[in-house]
Amino acid sequence: MEQRYATAPQQVPSMTTEELRGHYLVEDLFVADEVRAVHSHHDRVVLVGVLPRTGPLSLPAFPEIRAERLFDRREAGVVNVGGAGTVTVDGEEHRLAPTACLYIGRGAQEVSFASDDADAPAAFYLFSAPAHTAHPTVLVEPGGGTVRELGDPLTSNRRTLTQYIHENGVRSCQVVMGVTTLHPGSMWNTMPAHTHDRRMEVYLYFGLPEDARVVHLLGEPHETRHLVVADRQAVISPPWSLHSGVGTASYGFVWAMAGENQSFDDMDPHPAAVLR
Ligand SMILES: O=C[C@H](O)[C@@H](O)CC(=O)C(=O)O
Ligand SMILES: [Zn+2]
C-alpha cells in the first residue's frame, strides 16, 4: 500500500509537474494479475485496483492499516471499469458487468475477484473509507442508480451522471460513488467547476482511447494547475481542490467521495470567469 499524505493548498504554487503528479495522480493502479493500493490520508481513503487476468485474485491484508482484513473497520464501493467479472464476498458471488457497482459493507472477510474472459479482463476499482457500522453488501446493475442528465452539447459537456452509493440509494457510512459518461462529441466534465470543503473526492478516468488524454484541473479556484491524465488513472482531490477536466476524446469516470457529509449538492460553484 502506497502512502499519500495529506497536502495543504499553500504547497501547490511551488510544486513542479512531477511533484503535482506524485501527490495527486495515481498512474499504475491496474496491473495484470496484481492488487495495487494507495492510501490517501485525505479522509483516510484507500484506493485499490484489481486486474485478474490469468486467475482469480484475493484481497490481501494491508499491514499499513493494522487490521487483519481491509473490511474490519472499513467499507468500500467497487466499480468494474473493464470486461465482465465476478466479486465473491464471503462465498456469495456478485457478477459485475462493465460499470456495475458493488457496495461492500464493514465486516466482510474473504473477498476475491475474477474475470469472465482473460482476453477482456475485468478491472475492479475499490474506493474504501473508515466505517462506523455495517451496511448490507448490495449490487447495482449498470445505470441502475439515480440518473441525472447534465450539461449541453453546445458547451461540449453533455453527460449522464449515475449515482450508485448515495443518500437516496445504496446506503453507506461515508462513501458516495457513481459514474459519469460523456456523450459523443462532449469533452468537458464538471464545468462549471466546484469544491466541497466537507468531502474529498477521487476521479478515476476510464474508456479513454490509449493515445488520448484528459487535461484535469486541480487546486484552489484562484490558483489552478493541471495534470495530463491517461486511461485508468485516478486523481485525488483534497477538499479544497476543484476537479474538472477536458478530454482529447470522450471518456467516462468513476467519482467517489468521503468525509463530513453525504450531501451530493453540498458544493460551492466556481464559474469559469472566476478561475485563475
Ligand atoms: O461532487 C460531485 C462530483 O464532482 C461529480 O459527481 C461531478 C460529476 O460527475 C459531473 O459533473 O459530471
Ligand atoms: Zn465534486
> What does the domain layout of the chain look like in residue ranges?
12-274
Residues in contact with ligand 1 by the CB-under-6-Å rule are 150, 159, 161, 180, 189-190, 196, 201, 243, 255, 267
Three-state SS for 250?
coil
pLDDT of 143 reads 85
Report the candidate in 56, 198, 40 with the shortest Cα–Cα distance to residue 48: 40
CATH code matching the domain that covers 12-274, chosen among 1.10.1740.10, 2.60.120.10, 3.20.20.70, 3.40.50.720: 2.60.120.10
- The residue nearest atom 9 of ligand 1, judged by CA position, is 180
pLDDT attached to residue 208: 98
| Residue of 87, 262, 264 lying closest to 180 (CA atoms) | 264
Phi/psi at 273 (5° precision): -70, -15
Q: What is the pLDDT of residue 205?
A: 99
User: Which residue has its alpha carbon closest to ligand 1 atom 1?
Assistant: 264
Mark the binding-site residues for Zn(2+), compressed into ranges: 194, 196, 201, 243
Binding site membership: which residues?
194, 196, 201, 243
**Could you tell me which residues are beta bridge partners of residue 160?**
149, 181
Mean pLDDT by 10 residues, the chain (276 residues): 98 98 98 98 98 98 97 98 98 98 98 98 99 98 95 97 97 98 97 97 98 98 98 98 97 98 97 98
Chain-centre distance of CA 10, in angstroms? 25
Ligand at shortest distance from the CA of 242: 2
Cβ contacts of 39 within 8 Å, gap of 6 or more? 1, 2, 3, 4, 45, 46, 64, 65
